[in-house]
Amino acid sequence: MSSPETDFSGIHDIDRLVHEPTRLMVIASLYVVESADYTFLMRQVGLTWGNLSAHLSKLEEAGYIQVEKTYRGKRPYTLVRLSDLGRTTFKNYVSQMKTIFNDLDQS
Amino acid sequence: MNQKALNLKELEQLAYPRTYQDGLLDIYLGGILASNAVFAFTIFPGTDLDSLQVIIYYLIGMGLSTLVFWLGKRYITLPRIGLVTFGPARHKRARDLILALAVIAVVQVLVVFLQMGFLVSPSLRSQLIPILGDTSSTNLPIAIVASLFVAPGMLLIAYFMDIPRFYYLAGVVSLAVFLMILLDQAWWMALGGVLIILLGVIQLFRFLRQYPLESTPDEQS
């Protein structure tokens, strides 16, 4: 395959783990808070537990989120927070997307 | 095609009020107002209560309000909307609220001392009457000052905690205190408290309908 004449390197560099719409919603929701539990996240992004769990596992594997088990009285809570890496990655993603679409606007 | 830019600030502002949609804070504040109204009955005509009854009713009212708030948050709100901690900007607003309430409290104490001096010291009284006028013959100025005393605290809570319906509650509390003093009837303050509790209960029912219980893996484990 011949190489493209236009420079698409910006698009190639996009983090696909973050770019997926559902995970993007999860990361954006976690970005604006310090931490949240499963119930809050399910409400916030409108997902079932099974669906949310699959996305959270991928984000945890990548080191973008931290999962912490805690208790309030006798009730267990699983708190999820964006890691420093997750925050930086999301910021970079936003900046990359802005740059790409700004470039497209001018063409 | 429905296209809307992702606005992070808006996302946070939509998530935050959800923690106060349960009406429990309204019920708690209404309970405090109604409980404090018991003391008003010892000052204003309305009903005859002796000191022991006043203290017992006050403690029961305060205890019930606190218990409803605490149990409600734990067994109604948390299982429905979950647990969330907001970011540094919200913590800063909470600190700013405490600071603003402290400033208001200091100003109010100064006003009380000024008023006491006005009543006790004949020389200060004679100096201030030309400026403020002689207001001792009517309840109206006292009612206005008292309602201005209770309003700022509630308005600050509404502003710093981003709960628009608290502006309305500030109006209810101020009006209740104003009418109590103006009409010399302690029932107005109790009525204000009960009205706020009722609004909180309506808010709570709406919350229960909007957020039914959903099972999460935390509950299953």
Q: What is the pLDDT of residues A47-82, one digit of tens each?
A: 888 888 899 999 999 999 999 888 777 777 789 999
pLDDT for A90? 93
Residue of A23, A26, A33 to mutate when probing chain B, most B C-beta within 10 A: A33
Looking at chain B, the whole-number percentage of residues with pLDDT higher than 90 is 28
A66 touches chain B (CB under 8 A): no
pTM assigned to the model = 0.76
Would you state the pLDDT for residue A105? 59
Q: Are strands B84-86 and A65-72 parallel, antiparallel or unpaired?
A: unpaired
Q: Please state the rounded mean pLDDT for residues B203-220.
A: 80
CA dist., res. B214 & res. A53, Å (int): 15
Q: Which CATH architecture has domain A12-97?
A: Orthogonal Bundle (1.10)
Instruction: Using alpha carbons, list the distances in angstroms from residue A31 to A51, A88, B16, B46, B77.
Output: 20, 10, 13, 54, 23
**Token pair in block for residue A50:** 């099974």
Domain boundaries, chain B: 17-209
The minimum CA-CA distance between B8 and chain A, rounded to whole Å, is 7
Residue with more model confidence, B13 or A42: A42
- A53 interfacial to chain B (CB closer than 8 Å): yes
pLDDT value, residue B46? 57
Instruction: Return the domain boundaries, chain A.
Output: 12-97
Residue B155 is which amino acid?
L
**Contact (CB, 8 A) for B173 and B13:** no
Q: Give me the total of CB pairs closer than 8 Å, taking one residue from chain A and one from chain B.
A: 81
Among chain A residues, CA nearest to B88:
A34
